[in-house]
Chain A
Amino acid sequence: MSKVTLTIDGIQITVPKGATVLEAAEQAGIFIPTFCHDPQLSKPGACRICVVEIPGARNLPASCVTEATEGMVVNTASPAVIEARKTNLELLLANHPTDCLTCEKSGDCRLQEYAYFYGVKQGAFKGEKHNYPIEDDNPFIVRDMNKCILCGKCIRMCEEVQGNDVINFAYRGFNSIVTPAMGAHYADTEISNCVFCGGCVSVCPVGALSEKGMIGKGRRWEVKKVTTTCPYCGVGCQFDLNVKNGKVIGVTSTDGEVNGRALCVKGRFGYGFIHHPDRLTTPLIKKDGKFVEATWDEAVDLIVKKIGSIKEKCGPDALGLLSSARVTNEENYLMNKLARAVIGTNNIDHCARLCHAPTVAGMATAYGSGAMTNSFAEIPGADFILISGTNTTDTHPVAGAMIKQAARNGSTLVVVDPRKTELAKLAKYHLQIKSGTDIALFNGLANVIIAEGLCDKEFVNNRTEDFEAFKATVAKYTPEYVEGITGIRAETIREVALGYAKAKNASIFFTMGITQHICGTHNVFSIANLCMLCGQIGKESSGVNPLRGQNNVQGSCDMGALPVVYTGYQSITVEENRKKFAAAWNVQELPAKIGLTVGELLGECGKSIKGMYIMGENPVISDPDANQVMHELKKLDFLVVQDIFLTETAQFADVVLPGASFAEKDGTFTNTERHVQLVRKAIEPIGNSKPDWEIICMVATAMGYPMSYGSAAEIMDEVASLTPSYAGISFARLEKGSLQWPCLSADHPGTKFLHSGKFARGLGKFHAVEHIPPDELPDNEYPFILSTGRRRYHYHTGTMTQRTGALEVFYPTEYLEVSCPDAEKLGVCDGDRVRVASRRGQVEVAVKITDTVVPGLVFTSFQYPDVPINRLTNPARDPISKIPDLKVCAVKIDKVG
């Protein structure tokens, strides 16, 4: 790269060609004030506070947009520059309120800082001031446009990072103002399109935008910032918990490795659950049907006694454990150890069963690994992005925004989804397929690619096996045939197939729309086939990317919270593995019998399963056919639930143990792209609660298996010593930056994308799969298809997001999405209540008429305890992965009253 040398304030400095004067000055350690400049956003050069003097220039150029040139001489502090900056500040102050005493931003305000630095006082230019009303009608963000200095960073953040264009400048000159369209408020989301990611707040240099929850809670200089990893979804954003006097008072952006400063509404504004009065603060023991407070000793003693007696009477396999995708890797690892080494059973599973079991089953069989093959950072490099069955902007908002950016920057976006999601509206092609016809579609794409001779022969020959059987199977899936099954025009299928095959780098993303079907694993196979067919895998920006739902679902699987594997997917069926772990865990031998899955465990309650230990899971709400789940849990002799709230499931427990939240403990989460990131303790555990790993240690020790660690870091060291893909991971390294597994040794840099040069299993395996219709199709009695999913404002079963003081305020009730023609047929309007019933149960819910669903399809989320939609869903399972078919169930709908 060529370089240029310039002189700034007498200091010679060499910078890469193309650098700005501002960047050069920063490199030389010379201070230049800025308002509108942000290194990660486009450069408007608007505020003019960064002006410098360059002899020969006609006026004082703005250093943030002036390119440094060879031999340039710059003066950043000449009298003319200082004078101009002072006048600029005087002008800004002349149009600014003088309430620094009570302003939330005081202490962290650039205007204040520069006024102080340059000794500028208010009052030089008295004149008209604006007097805008303060916008305070949403629970997240307060906007005081009287304080706005119109730097426009919020606008660019919203446009360039979030891809939302909520706000822009309106009017001209002195009357310029930043506002959503038509002067709407953020809260008028129908007009504003605001999703409350709070990106605007994170970049505002003054007090114009503030986090509502933080107002009056503490001065910026009193706050300790603790960088940690978000407890919600699998994207794994990092942020700073703001702590004052041992209390979390808010969340602010840090420069996260995965997310930069972007966050979603849950991550930024959903922290209120931490100090919610409903938090469990002491162990509870059920006596005569009522919970009474107990000491830790009492609770642990009871557990040891009960579990001991079940084990004694019925053997260890009469016990089942549910670990949790919400807690840390270290805790999952200990749960795995508790099950196998202490209790002596492989009956351990967790909710990954409900989301990505088919992914793990399918991709592991085809490729040898079930994880996302690529990283989010590779999204911009993909010129073709296919999204299937994922409403990414709601379920993984920050990843969704990255996909939006790519589409804006010219990548071809294809969305396969029965619903018209936000991404579908942006996509070049929206393939609005009939629910449950994915295999036909992917086979159809493969058919076209083979017919057109666009398959990557070299890749197929050298790196895969079983191609011929696959080829024979897809031969019948001509576009015309597939049109008949999926409802997608043959011509469109052809175009998309050609686009995928010809793309330089094509990435596929999917979530529950692919997996939650009785043919979930086959769906995954059909996607895996397509990638291999075109060689669109094993290289940067090309591959298959299952977006994992929960913050640590990847990690809980990695840690062996599954019935057939130890950490790093080392199978329990291999004797060598059993020996290795038995030795490390200091036990004679480990059980060899494959354990039961979530569904099987629940199904066996009262039969072969007598006692369960559930940590951080809420199957009563999350699992299909919830009535049945409640019924089953009642049959247990003994149930322990360890959680941060008294969940619907905890209600059935005999003993409830209070866990500490993510803010109260150290550990790691592994995000969906295999990034292992630190979770840092910001505050002490609430009340008498304890970190889950400490609780497990207590229980294990009381059961006669001494288990103790000085810190979470020590647990990770043990994991690393037993797990090849985590071998190089340690807290000391993570302190310097996250690592992506496989990370094979202490000096291994981690792995950005998988299967480079060779699949994890050696050769990639094609699987010939046929279209399988959903288990339950609509009929005369149950004429609608009900599909379920998630909402941006809520998380999973709502245990946390319903207790934030913000999210549930803004999004208080669930509704059923119904198409306009269906609403007409049913005679219902927006807000009318309907009874939705399947063969298994019924719920009441309000209707929302939208164009996101097609006639015949209705949709709602499973996140509201008062709309327990899983009482309706079909527990029919994928025979391979045992995932229930949560995406298709037949229902009938009646207006209530």
Chain B
Amino acid sequence: MKSLDELAKIKESRRAALKIREGVPSATEKAHVMMCGGAGCISSKCLEVVDAMKEALSKNGIAEQVQIILTGCMGPCDMGPVAIVYPDATFYRRLKPKDAEAIVEEHIMKGNLVQRLLYRAPGAKEPTPKVTDIDLFAKQKKIVLRNNFYIDPTSIEDYIANDGYAALGKALTQMQPAEIIEEVKKSGLRGRGGAGFSTGMKWGFTAAASGSPKYVVCNGDEGDPGAFMDRSVLEGDPHSVIEGMAICGRAIGAEQGYVYVRAEYPLAIERLDYAIQKARENGLLGKDILGTGFNFDIEIRIGAGAFVCGEETALLTSIEGKRGEPRPRPPFPANAGVWGKPTVLNNVETWANIPEIILKGAAAYAAIGTEKSKGTKVFALAGRINNTGIIEVPMGTTLREIVFEIGGGIPRKKAFKAVQTGGPSGGCIPADYLDTPVDYDSLGALGAIMGSGGMIVLDEDSCMVDIAKFFLDFVVDESCGKCSPCRIGTKRMYEILDNISKGKGKEGDIELLVELATTIKATALCGLGQTAPNPVLSTIRYFRKEYEEHIRDKKCACNVCELEE
């Protein structure tokens, strides 16, 4: 593709072909079935449903008139496999292969919705057939996951039809590099990888840094246990990341990008690889992009799945082919990143926001969210909650809204106890703070963090000592071992906690934990160690009584810990 015109033409022709997904019936096609191909639905065997549906279509002789498309994660994983059938945008859930025939023969051929497969809101009598009417989705705001209901992740045309690469076109033809950076700064976008640093500022530093060449890196390591936001983006909409990175390349003067993805995400790697190939074929990566003289290309680097490799300096070291170990900062990647060159490193989700900001403008983006946290955030809901899966909400949405409205509350009428955010670097927020708006600063003030978006809901049966132990166990395993506070300190903390949980705790153990935690936080080399004690500290802060019960009374009120004797 050598010009914006060509891009516009593709968009136009593809848009026409996709009208059906906007609810406009088509003369030639009966339906588009968007089958969720996210991790949750794959594990609940959506591919078998696809096969069954293909069979039913052929049997009825309408295979030519119906498209079945595997999308990225649609979010409501616990209801999987889920699907949306266009043009009427009907949402089906908990599909089994045997349901395929009904959908084909009743819904697609005769126009009768299959009632038993429709979504019913908790307590509601009537089902809600249309996806846009479903409360769960209605309360969300989709920017990052804007395309997951609509496009085929393997089709660059689908992406283009939904405004894909228009932002890149704009950045290349209508904006100066400095203006791009300014726009990103004004949007208020902060890094979604956990630390929440201003993305625009990061780009600004890198642009200003001396040294060349410069590099653009996407962090797709996603190591928080239970998190799969980034995976959903890479699998469902890989071009959004590519486009965001290319825009940054233009802004900072880089011609090479790297996407670092963990090896445990083979589908994400495959989709991204394919997308990169398609982008190259279409002249959207490579030399002289859109005929503007701008060059940019992307390589995938596959990580071996160590949690610490998500830490930016470790990731850069790993890209260089060395053992993925953090190095001291400063120098920050902006000045000394890959091969010691100035580098912008952002998280997958951060990248996916960029095209929207450039296309629709910083002001529109900054209108969403709170004063200091703009835009939306994707979360992975897990634990004792009805609707587990992926959600995207505006910054500032309260925990209560997330847990009880979008998440559908706690199963089996149990009492809510706390929500854990930020995974092994984060903390627990107890019920008293349910009305806290979810933004970087409010969560930080409570001793938790936004983190990358993991949210684990705990109910009255969850033992907090056990939760702390779970996360500490994780960091003991994942500590890279380079610095002694983290390497030995977390191990010793774990041993103390383990003793407490087994009823072998002693007076003074809590104080010892706090003392160790303080030193580790203050002296560890990288973010892993510096935050590793957080789950312990925050549970001690809000649930000290539970610790004391284990130590003094040798008892676990939730009957989770196996006390010896």
Contact = CB atoms under 8 A, between A and B. Distances in A.
> Which of B489, B521, B523 has the most chain A CB within a 10 Å cutoff?
B523
Interface residues of A, number: 36
Interface stretch (A87-95, A196-204, A215-223, A801-809): A87-95
Given A150-B481, A172-B478, A127 B491 contact: yes
Contacts of A80: 522
Contact of B525 (A46, A95, A125): A46
B554 interface: no
B328 A43 contact: yes
Contact of A174 (B306, B487, B515): B487
Given A67-B330, A84-B519, A127-B495, A48 B485 contact: yes
Contacts of B495: 125, 127-128
A125 B491 CA distance: 10
Contact of A173 (B323, B479, B524): B479
B484 A169 contact: no
Contacts of A47: 483-484
Interface string B501-530: 000000000000001100101111100001
Contact of A48 (B490, B515, B524): B524
Nearest to A80: B522
A145 to B, nearest CB: 13
Interface stretch (A58-66, A415-423, A723-731): A58-66
B170 to A, nearest CB: 38
Interface string B469-499: 0000000111111111111111110010000
A88 B308 CA distance: 21
A172 B479 contact: yes
A692 to B, nearest CB: 51
A127 B492 contact: yes
B477 A173 contact: yes
B488 A174 contact: yes
A45 B327 contact: yes
A46 B482 contact: yes
Interface string B187-221: 00000000000000000000000000000000000
Interface in A143-187: 149-150, 152, 168-169, 171-176
A48 B481 contact: no
Contacts of A83: 519
Interface in B116-169: none
Contacts of B230: none
A83 B523 CA distance: 11
A653 to B, nearest CB: 58
Interface string B327-338: 110100000000
A168 B490 CA distance: 22
A44 interface: yes
Nearest to B331: A67
A94 B525 contact: no
B325 interface: yes
Contacts of B306: 172
A51 interface: yes
A127 B519 CA distance: 18
B523 A84 contact: yes
A807 B479 CA distance: 40
A60 B525 CA distance: 10
- Most B Cβ at <10 Å: residue of A84, A174, A175: A174
A770 to B, nearest CB: 48
Contacts of A44: 327-328, 482
Contacts of B327: 44-45
A173 B481 contact: yes
Interface string A614-647: 0000000000000000000000000000000000
A92 B476 CA distance: 16
A88 B484 contact: yes
Given A45-B525, A48-B523, A87 B515 contact: yes
Contacts of B477: 172-173
B532 to A, nearest CB: 11
B484 A59 contact: no
Contact of B481 (A49, A92, A176): A176
Nearest to B519: A87
A62 B522 CA distance: 10
B481 A60 contact: no
Contacts of B490: 173-174
Contacts of A127: 491-492, 495
A163 to B, nearest CB: 16
Which of A43, A47, A171 has most chain B Cβ within 10 Å? A47
B518 to A, nearest CB: 8
A308 B489 CA distance: 80
Contacts of B481: 150, 169, 171-176
Contacts of A51: 522-523
Taking each of B327, B484, B524, which has the highest tally of chain A beta carbons within 10 Å of its own beta carbon? B484
Given A48-B523, A169-B323, A174-B479, A94 B492 contact: yes
B484 A168 contact: no
A703 to B, nearest CB: 67
Contacts of B519: 83-84, 87-88
B311 to A, nearest CB: 13
B491 A174 contact: yes
Interface string A757-798: 000000000000000000000000000000000000000000
A67 B328 CA distance: 11
Contacts of B483: 45-48
Nearest to A65: B328
A92 B488 contact: yes
Contacts of A174: 476, 479, 481, 487-488, 490-491
A59 B488 contact: no
Contacts of A84: 519, 522-523
Contacts of A172: 306, 308, 477-481
Nearest to B489: A91
B529 to A, nearest CB: 9
A399 B480 CA distance: 35
Contacts of B491: 127-128, 173-174
Contacts of B323: 168-169
A233 to B, nearest CB: 33
A173 B476 contact: yes
A71 to B, nearest CB: 17
Interface in A726-768: none
B325 A125 contact: no
A95 B481 CA distance: 13
A173 B487 contact: yes
Contacts of B489: 87, 91
A62 B484 contact: no
B17 to A, nearest CB: 50
A626 to B, nearest CB: 50
Contacts of A168: 323
A162 to B, nearest CB: 18
A169 B479 CA distance: 13
Interface string A121-134: 00001011000000
A88 B489 CA distance: 8
B485 A91 contact: yes
Contacts of A59: 521-523, 530
A304 to B, nearest CB: 68
Contacts of B480: 172-173, 176
Chain A CB within 10 A, most for which of B306, B325, B492 = B492
Contacts of A95: 488
A152 B483 CA distance: 10
Given A149-B484, A173-B491, A176-B482, 18 more contacts: A44-B328, A44-B482, A45-B525, A47-B484, A59-B522, A59-B523, A62-B525, A80-B522, A87-B515, A88-B484, A91-B484, A94-B488, A169-B482, A172-B308, A172-B480, A172-B481, A173-B476, A173-B487
Q: What 7 A-B pairs are tightest by C-beta distance, nearest first?
A: A176-B481, A45-B328, A173-B479, A65-B328, A87-B519, A91-B488, A127-B495
10 contacts: A47-B483, A48-B525, A49-B484, A51-B523, A88-B519, A94-B488, A128-B491, A169-B325, A172-B477, A173-B476
